[in-house]
Every structure is written in C-alpha cells, then in structure tokens.
Amino acid sequence: MGTFIQLVVDGLATGSIYAALALAIVLVNQATGLINFAQGGMAVLSAYIAYAFTRLGLPLILAILIAVVVSFLIGAVIERFLIRRFEGGDPDTAVVVTIGLLALVTGICAVRWGYNNLAFPSLFPLTSVEILGAVVSVRSLATTVTIVAIMVALQVLFLRTKLGLALRAVADNPSSAALSGLPVGRLLMVGWGFAASLGAIAGVLVAPQLTLTPGMLDTALVYALAAVILGGLSSPIGCVVAASAIGVLENLAAVYVPLVGHDLKIAVPFVLIFVILVIRPQGLFGRKVVVRV
C-alpha cells in the first residue's frame, strides 16, 4: 500500500508536468489553430536559460523567473516572425514549420550547451514526508501543487480579466474579434508567450530529475500529445485529467505489469489510445473529430 501511494503521488507529479505541456499545446492551438511540436523543445531552451542564469550566480528562483519572462518574449517573437506567415494556411505546412522550429531550438541548445547531461538544481528539497503511512517525496508533492496553482492562476486570468476575455475572443474567432478592435496579432503573440512561459515552468520543474539535455522533453512532448488526444483539444480540463491519469497509470504499470516495466511505460498511453480508438472510433469524448482540420 505504501508503494502504491508513493507511485500515485510520483505519477501525479510527472502527470502535472505533462499537463503543463499539454495546456501549452492547447493554448497555442486555441489561439492559432495549429499543434506546436516544438513546445517541448522551447521549454528545454527555457530550462537552459534558467541554468545559464544560475551559473551567473543568481539565486535559483530568480533565474527561473527571468527564464519564464524571457520565454514569454521568445514565444511572442516566434509567433510574430515565424508562425504568422503560416497561420490560416495549410495546417500540414504549419506542422512542418513547428518541426523545423523544434530542430532549430534543439540545435541552439546543442550548439550553446552541448549534448552532455547537465545537472539542474531542484527548487524543492529532496526530502520525504510520511502521508498515510507512505513515504512521499516532497519534490513530487511540491511540483504537483505548483502546477495546480499555476493552472488556477491561468483560469482566473482567462475567466476574470479583460486580457483573458480578449485572448478567448481571438481564439474563438480571430476575424470577428478584430471587428471589435481587438489587436489580433498582438494577442496571438501574447497567447504564444503564455504557452512558452508555461512550458518554461514545466521545463525547470522536471529538469532536476531528468538532467538537462537538448532532447530532455522529447518524450514528455509525446506524453503531452497523448494527453491532448485523450482529453480533447478544446478541453483544457480534459487534458489535465488525461495527463494526470497517464502519469499515474504509466507509473503503476511500470511496477505492477512486468511486461511493461520502466523502459516501455511510454507505450502505455498509446496502447490506451489505440484500444479506445478501436472500441470508440468517434474518440474519447464523443466528438467525431478531435482536431480542427
């Protein structure tokens, strides 16, 4: 039982990282209608930026905050000068653009910091606490709590502020929003900025565990995409639930299903997707098409 609780809490922690990345993907998709396959790569760059600032002697928390702000700007600039050109066009071309962006961002990390694993300091103590008789790591708990807090903050931003209203309006129908005087271009930049910042937080929270490499989040991206497929692109809450479920399930499967083990737990969400698609061709939540074409 103790192991079980430990596994669930750890699973929720990794699940919350996937959830943050999945939310960033949904945010971009809502704003610009495309899937950003570079979301994970951009988050790695953010983590490297935080790393660089800690190397300059800045306290970790300050380095992270700077990285989050810089990531916002990077996201906005990418939208303006790279993605804008392909918005509203063929979605397949836009996907390839984000693939190119992924290669570019990964390449920038590789050129600047190399392919060797770098140790990233943890924001949270590496101690454990006892909950219900189970030993649970503080880092897992704190990671989950941090991400949940950020999601609540985002929810408030989107539902309670004028900026949030404007972002939702642009996501809903950009050409109609423009007729009410909303600066669509600038709002799309803001949307990409928020997504990049969210990715940055996911990146710095997971970096101590995975250690920094240019491809650190390739796998996490795949998990996040699985969460997006299962949860639905139009449902941020669905994505968070799916991401958490994936995090917990894969952790349990790795330990309790010998066939899966730690090396193949990445297959868990995809086996799930395939099984669901075979049983329910219309998708998980009854929508015929989860992705806007």
Residue 153 binding other proteins, by CB under 8 A? no
Q: Which is nearest to 147 in space by CA: 118, 119, 123, 117? A: 123
Residue 222 binding other proteins, by CB under 8 A? yes
Binding residue for other proteins, selected from 204, 228, 245, 246, defined by CB under 8 A: 228
205 near 123, Cβ under 8 Å? yes
Both tokens assigned to 57: 């002697």
Least CB distance from residue 10 to other proteins, whole Å? Answer: 19
Q: Residue 135: phi, psi to the nearest 5?
A: -85, 120
CA distance 25 to 35: 6
Residue 52 binding other proteins, by CB under 8 A? no
Residue 285 binding other proteins, by CB under 8 A? no
193 near 83, Cβ under 8 Å? no
Least CB distance from residue 195 to other proteins, whole Å? Answer: 16
Q: Which is nearer to other proteins, 37 or 120 (CB)?
A: 37
Binding residue for other proteins, selected from 21, 70, 151, 225, defined by CB under 8 A: 225
Least CB distance from residue 30 to other proteins, whole Å? Answer: 9
Binding residue for other proteins, selected from 60, 65, 169, 249, defined by CB under 8 A: 169
Q: Which stretch binds other proteins (CB under 8 A): 5-13, 123-131, 147-155, 171-179?
A: 171-179
Q: Which is nearer to other proteins, 126 or 293 (CB)?
A: 293
Q: Residue 264: phi, psi to the nearest 5?
A: -110, 15
Q: Residue 234: phi, psi to the nearest 5?
A: -95, 5
Residue 210 binding other proteins, by CB under 8 A? no
Residues 96-135, interacting with other proteins (CB under 8 A): 96-97, 99-108, 110-111, 114-115
91 near 291, Cβ under 8 Å? no
Least CB distance from residue 126 to other proteins, whole Å? Answer: 27
Q: Residue 203: phi, psi to the nearest 5?
A: -60, -50
Q: Which residues touch 262 (CB under 8 Å, ≥6 apart)?
A: 254
Least CB distance from residue 160 to other proteins, whole Å? Answer: 11
Residue 218 binding other proteins, by CB under 8 A? yes
**116, 171, 179, 217, 259 from 182: Cα distances, Å:** 45, 12, 7, 35, 54
Residues 236-265, interacting with other proteins (CB under 8 A): 261, 263-264
213 near 115, Cβ under 8 Å? yes
Q: Which is nearest to 39 in space by CA: 151, 265, 191, 183? A: 191
CA distance 132 to 291: 42
Residues binding other proteins: what is the number (CB under 8 A)? Answer: 83
- Strands (E) in the chain, as ranges, are 128-131, 134-137
Least CB distance from residue 119 to other proteins, whole Å? Answer: 20
Least CB distance from residue 155 to other proteins, whole Å? Answer: 15
Least CB distance from residue 196 to other proteins, whole Å? Answer: 17
Residue 157 binding other proteins, by CB under 8 A? no
Residues 67-96, interacting with other proteins (CB under 8 A): 80, 82, 84-93, 95-96
